[in-house]
């Protein structure tokens, strides 16, 4: 998921952004910015540039529209039937 996040601190060494209430520290982005786009999935956070963020956002919107979920059909049991004949001991 990509989110536009406010930059809390930005210096020559690190950049700190507020990602959904979590302060995440990144290596310095070496530019003056009030907001950055952060891609986060699970526990991984990555800063993406503006063009890449728009591209990924558009892809996600297109995928959400084109993907349809088909209901799953119950699987048929493929058990092999075995006939056992009873024998009488003499």
- Domain range 2-66, CATH architecture: Roll (2.30)
Mean pLDDT of 64-82: 56
- Where along the chain do its domains lie? 2-66
Instruction: Give the chain's mean pLDDT.
Output: 78
pTM (predicted TM-score): 0.58
* pLDDT digits 0-9 by tens, 5-31: 999 999 999 999 999 898 999 999 888
Q: Decide: residue 65, CB within 10 A, 0-12 exposed, 13-18 middle, 19+ buried.
A: exposed
CB atoms closer than 10 angstroms to residue 48 = 15
Kindly tell me if the per-residue pLDDT of 65 is higher than 60: no
Any residues with CB less than 8 A from the CB of 6 and at least 6 apart, and which?
17, 18, 34, 35
């Amino acid at each position: 998921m990509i989110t536009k996040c406010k930059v809390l601190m930005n210096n020559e060494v690190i950049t700190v952004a507020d990602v959904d209430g979590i302060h995440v520290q990144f290596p310095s982005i070496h530019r003056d910015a009030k907001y950055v786009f952060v891609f986060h999935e699970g526990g991984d956070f990555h800063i993406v540039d503006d063009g890449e963020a728009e591209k990924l956002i558009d892809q996600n919107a297109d995928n959400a529209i084109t993907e349809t979920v088909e209901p799953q059909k119950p699987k048929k049991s493929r058990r092999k039937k075995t006939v056992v004949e009873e024998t009488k001991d003499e």
